[in-house]
Chain A
Amino acid sequence: DAGITQSPRYKITETGRQVTLMCHQTWSHSYMFWYRQDLGHGLRLIYYSAAADITDKGEVPDGYVVSRSKTENFPLTLESATRSQTSVYFCASSEVDRGRNEQYFGPGTRLTVT
């Protein structure tokens, strides 16, 4: 099906473990984004990518790593999970047309770090 998907939808992991959240979009959008959403903070940008092999930091990148070898995939890796990374993670994509710029969001991944 066309759209943007995230996996897993729910994940429980232990402190210190590495965990990868997957994001896949079928629109061939140039831009992809990773956000975390926490109560009281709203959506905060972790990393974004303007195209394959081009990534850049957002507002809260520490402790996260991204890659984008293919246009459609944008995985987010927590190298050594901490409790403060317990959050809901959203992936989004948008096209480069500057007349619109709306972002299309995935359903989110709820991550709990114990």
Chain B
Amino acid sequence: SQKIEQNSEALNIQEGKTATLTCNYTNYSPAYLQWYRQDPGRGPVFLLLIRENEKEKRKERLKVTFDTTLKQSLFHITASQPADSATYLCALGQPGGATNKLIFGTGTLLAVQP
């Protein structure tokens, strides 16, 4: 069956360091992968999308890599700040993108200590 795994334990990091979050998947060939941020009591907010033919995507302090051979995406936040503390979700898009459906991982809680 399809499975998406993210770091199940919280990631604690010191302010100013780079946070790296992992998303691994099995039995799946997504057309694209997305990352979302979710704050407590709120809905997820879209951050970045990377397609299957792209290796890396950047947006300000965020960087996403996508390795379809390893079936893995890495999400980096450089120069992390306490305001970056949140749960980060990865989501895989259907091959061909015909339905706009996503399959979400369980998320990784990031805590940035001042």
Whether the pair B89, A102 counts as a contact (CB closer than 8 A) is no
Nearest CB in chain B: distance from A90 CB, A: 5
Within the complex, which residue of A41, A58, A98, A108 is in contact with B101, where a contact is CB–CB below 8 Å? Answer: A58
In the complex, how many angstroms separate the beta carbon of A39 from the nearest chain B beta carbon? 9
CA distance A44 to B44 in the complex (A): 13
Interface residues of B in 62-114 (CB under 8 A from A): 89, 93, 97-107
Other-chain contact of B34, A48, A102, A104, A106 (Cβ < 8 Å)? A102
Contact across chains for B106 and A40 when beta carbons are under 8 A apart: yes
Q: Do B46 and A102 touch (CB < 8 A)?
A: yes
Indicate with 1 or 0, residue by residue over B28-46, a CB within 8 angstroms of chain A CB atoms.
0000101000000111111
Contact B99 A42 (CB under 8 A): no
Q: Using C-beta atoms within 8 Å of the partner chain, give the interface range for chain B.
A: 20 to 34
Interface of A is mostly: strand
How many residues does chain A have at the interface if contact means C-beta atoms less than 8 Å apart?
27
Tell me whether A108 and B42 are in contact (CB under 8 A).
yes
- List the interface of chain B (C-beta within 8 A of A): 32, 34, 41-46, 49, 89, 93, 97-107
Q: How far is the CB of A88 from chain B (nearest CB, A)?
A: 9
A105 pairs with B34, CB closer than 8 A: no
Contacting residue for A103 out of B32, B98, B102, CB 8 A: B102
Listed A/B pairs (18) with beta-carbon separation below 8 Å: A31-B100, A33-B101, A40-B106, A43-B89, A45-B101, A48-B99, A48-B100, A56-B99, A90-B43, A92-B43, A96-B100, A98-B98, A101-B102, A106-B43, A107-B41, A107-B42, A108-B41, A108-B43
| Known interface pairs A45-B102, A107-B41; 10 further A-B residue pairs with C-beta atoms within 8 A, sorted by A's residue number | A31-B99, A42-B104, A42-B105, A43-B44, A96-B100, A101-B32, A101-B100, A101-B102, A102-B46, A106-B43
